[in-house]
Structure 1
Amino acid sequence: MDIQRAIHILIIVLSLSPCLGSAGDIVHRDDNTPKRPGCENNFVLVKVPTWVDRVPDIEYVGVGARFGTTLESKEKHANETRLVLADPPDCCSKPKNKLNHEVLLVHRGGCSFTTKANFAEEVNASAILIINYKTELFKMVCEANETDVDIQIPAVMLPQDAGASLENHIKNNSLVFVQLYSPKRPLVDVAEVFLWLMAVGTILCSSYWSAWTARETAIEQDKLLKDASEELLNSENVSSSGFLDINTTSAVLFVVVASCFLVMLYKLMSLWFLEVLVVLFCIGGVEGLQTCLVALLSCFRWFQHAGESFVKVPLFGAVSYLTLAVCPFCIAFSVIWAVFRRISFAWIGQDILGIALMITVLQIVRVPNLKVGTVLLSCAFLYDIFWVFVSKWVFHESVMIVVARGDRSGEDSIPMLLKIPRMFDPWGGYSVIGFGDIILPGLLVAFSLRYDWLSKKNLRTGYFVWAMTAYGLGLLITYVALNLMDGHGQPALLYIVPFTLGTFLTLGKRRGELKTLWTRGEPEKPCPHIQFQPS
């Protein structure tokens, strides 16, 4: 059990690193260059499919400029146009090219973006593609002293590797044609709906499992308390030894350790380091999956005997035969996912392992009262805001978003998150939510149902329905903010914590039960040895 607890604590710390978001961030934020006439376009991603000697080639992604005309949103309306390399390449003077509505390919640097676009328009180019000197996208804006900007051709920036490839084809005397269009993202993608259902369903299942276990433990303790034997009173610790109660100190330490670990991920993030995270995730996934499967199969009478028969295993102690039978399947499942995690549908295996792991953690790790829950969620609230927004001032980029996306590892993201491909988004990518956005509020929601069951409250008079609804609404507001922010990663706890914690505190205050919730975390029980005499 000590090994299991270590795994669960490690997973909670790891789970605090990702945030909720989706693919598609552009590097430069353009905070100091406001919109003005002639330079007021919204920044949009641009698809650039290419043909080399009339043979379809790679499709690149660029970003449209603040200036120039807007692009078509549908592929069928975009023309295939020949691409020509500018002479001089930087296009800081009038090109020597004689163009007939071709697209001009130029290098960044030497002069302003608008100067390049004006020269390209002057020689009758239909559009201008500017190659960045970095392998990233950059928002092209007007200079602060430029006024009356009037550019009538679209301007698009390409990353360095894409531009270099196109330039090599042209220099090898190949005919290169491009198409420029910017399809619009749907306001809501089905992936976000399924991700919401997965998050809510995970907390719902784990809350009922946790409450059922707590009720069974309470019934067992009541039986022991009815016997006045001191030995039986001491034995009540055996039934609860499988659970890990968080206190206020450990709640603060979780966030402090998670912050240190996040910085370590940020500094050391590489392919080899990501492999270490994958191994840790697989270990936790095996433990979570086998725990969930054993609990599920034990509900059937065919497996009850195997679940109640134990054998002693070194390091793990007494292990049921059912666990031994299920464990090889769980190990094989995790290994297969780890080996094939880069294929298109590997997200299914990752989500199964992740959900099983989170349900297990939420069933074993508990907050004993509302005080600990408030400290934990408040610290996580500040943690999320700092590492998503404030860290940009220190590290010049959002540390949490960089880590969650795995920008420096060569992969899409770290494994400690749920992900679903965006099904109707022309830009593809994934919608993701970090484990921490489910586990941390889930601890409070699970506490609410345990309290309701131990207090014998129904759904109407209890706290669980309100807490569950508050979490669902908080997560829904997060997705609204995500779409309003054009897909840029958002700290989900910024919206979820005020909803869940605020609802719980307000409801407890109005019902006059806040003191009990805050300190005891469970209803008071009369001592069985005290006899009340009727008056």
Structure 2
Amino acid sequence: MSHDDPYAPKSPSCDNKFQLVKVESWVNGVTSSSIVGLSARFGSPLPRDAANAIRRPTVLANPINCCAHSSSKLTNFVALAKRGDCTFTAKAQIAQFGGAAGLLVINDNEDLYKMVCNKNDTSINITIPVVMIPNSGGKILEDSIAGGGSVELLLYSPIRPAVDLSAGFLLLMAVGTIVCASLWAEFIACEQVDERYKQLTPKDPSSSATNNGDDSEKEVLEINSKLAIGFLLMASAFLMLLYFFMASWFIWLLIVLFCIGGIEGMHVCLVTLILRFFKNCGRKTMNIPMFGDVLILSLVVLPLCMAFAIVWAANQHAPLAWIGQDVLGICLMITVLQMARLPNIKVASALLMCAFVYDIFWVFISPLIFHESVMIAVSLIFL
């Protein structure tokens, strides 16, 4: 995708259109994360298709700001440099003079700054691609190289289609999840099981069928206006926690919590579906200490769900890992939506308004306070 900015300075030798660039990376031959960058007003344009791009090794410029002749060998390498201390064109000229095949400039925040020429740059001749990448993506590459890893990059600027089918697919998936959750209890849930969502919870032998019905009703959380506002405050606090504590251990903690929720949701969905079509499976139980009588079906399905989540977590950066993530997320949301209830349109409107304010503030207003969009900065952590 490319676009022109009439307000960005240009000159006869510095008049390229800005291109959104996809930076694919490999560390020691293993596919790593992709980074989205922005090309400069100067330099050579990038190919539109990955098949026409050349996969090249990457090296850190030395000095890292690339404001002086680099002591690192740059020939046929993509040079990685940090923003600051000299102009963008000076960095590009030094990298090109050293024989670099391209230059990636790491920004000092998560924004994609438009690299333009200065007024004095009237006759520059830069023939290598120059791309700005966000700080988080640059740090990943920098740490990999500093740790002795062999990093290779593929730079290209894919054409954005007029109709984005992926957006339609996401909308369809979201609507389908909500519809499925709303119809789950009536059309899918098995009537033969008293506790549909608690096959692995302790059972009280003295409780009657009436008490079981009451317990089932207690599982439903009725959302009111106060809870809607509480959701806004809790989500904001959690977002700030992510923003200020972007450590790898904290990210893995979130992944583990997501896997636990996904395992529970997938277990509930699979057991319920199987019991719906194979009701005899609900007759065989096993007595387990502290849990009481547990369906054997639950004991069989649970390890499969755990294995699914573990495989996804171990391969979450693989090209098709999004399928496993969506499956876990959909199962989790179906289970959660079974437990939440909006009593009236007033509460629903309050919840939607809180969600609207939450998105607008953290995407568009937060840069005025934190000098960058907190929502975008946090989302880039998981790329």
Q: CA-atom RMSD, angstroms?
A: 5.4
Query: Whole-Å Cα distance in 1 between the matches of residues 115 and 331 of structure 2?
Result: 45
Contact kept, 8 Å, 1:294 with 1:307, in 2: the verdict is no
Please report how far the alpha carbon of residue 193 of structure 1 lies from its aligned counterpart in structure 2 after TM superposition: 3.9
2:328 paired with 1:353: yes
Which residue identity is paired with 1:292? C
2:370 paired with 1:371: no
Query: Whole-Å Cα distance in 1 between the matches of residues 15 and 333 of structure 2?
Result: 45
1:403 to 358, 373, 378: 378
Contact kept, 8 Å, 1:79 with 1:179, in 2: the verdict is yes
Which residue identity is paired with 2:8? K
1:260 to 237, 248, 254: 237
Percent of aligned positions that are identical: 45
> Compared with structure 1, are the counterparts of its residues 244 and 280 closer, same or farther at alpha carbon in structure 2 (3 Å cutoff)?
same
Contact kept, 8 Å, 1:134 with 1:160, in 2: the verdict is no
2:25 paired with 1:43: no
Please report how far the alpha carbon of residue 290 of structure 1 lies from its aligned counterpart in structure 2 after TM superposition: 1.7
Alignment of 1:151-230 (within 5 A): 151=124, 153-154=126-127, 156-157=130-131, 182-188=157-163, 190-210=165-185
SS at match of 1:397: coil
Which residue identity is paired with 1:156? V
Contact kept, 8 Å, 1:138 with 1:157, in 2: the verdict is no
Please report how far the alpha carbon of residue 307 of structure 1 lies from its aligned counterpart in structure 2 after TM superposition: 3.3
2:369 paired with 1:394: yes
Which residue identity is paired with 1:249? K
Query: Whole-Å Cα distance in 2 between the matches of residues 35 and 163 of structure 1?
Result: 29
Larger radius of gyration: 1
Q: Deviations over 1:75-106 (max 9, x none)?
A: 7878999x9x99x998989x9xxxxxx99979
Higher relative contact order (CA 8 A, sep 6+): 1
Contact kept, 8 Å, 2:24 with 2:154, in 1: the verdict is yes
Alignment of 1:440-455 (within 5 A): none
Please report how far the alpha carbon of residue 328 of structure 1 lies from its aligned counterpart in structure 2 after TM superposition: 3.4
Q: Which residue of 1 aligns with 2:205?
A: none
Contact kept, 8 Å, 2:10 with 2:41, in 1: the verdict is no
The normalised TM-score by structure 2 is 0.65
2:222 to 239, 245, 256: 245
2:260 paired with 1:283: yes
Q: Deviations over 1:143-162 (max 9, x none)?
A: 4xx27845454451476897
SS at match of 1:44: strand
Gap regions ≥5 residues in structure 1: 1-23, 25-30, 51-55, 96-101, 167-177, 217-231, 407-411, 414-535
Query: Whole-Å Cα distance in 1 between the matches of residues 380 and 261 of structure 2?
Result: 21
Q: Which residue of 1 aligns with 2:249?
A: 272
2:7 paired with 1:34: yes
Query: Whole-Å Cα distance in 1 between the matches of residues 154 and 321 of structure 2?
Result: 32
Q: Which residue of 2 aligns with 1:501?
A: none
Q: Which residue of 2 aligns with 1:141?
A: 116
Contact kept, 8 Å, 1:41 with 1:65, in 2: the verdict is yes
Query: Whole-Å Cα distance in 2 between the matches of residues 325 and 160 of structure 1?
Result: 43
Query: Whole-Å Cα distance in 1 between the matches of residues 301 and 78 of structure 2?
Result: 62
Alignment of 1:18-97 (within 5 A): 34-38=7-11, 40-45=15-20, 63-67=38-42, 70-73=45-48
Contact kept, 8 Å, 2:222 with 2:342, in 1: the verdict is yes
The normalised TM-score by structure 1 is 0.49
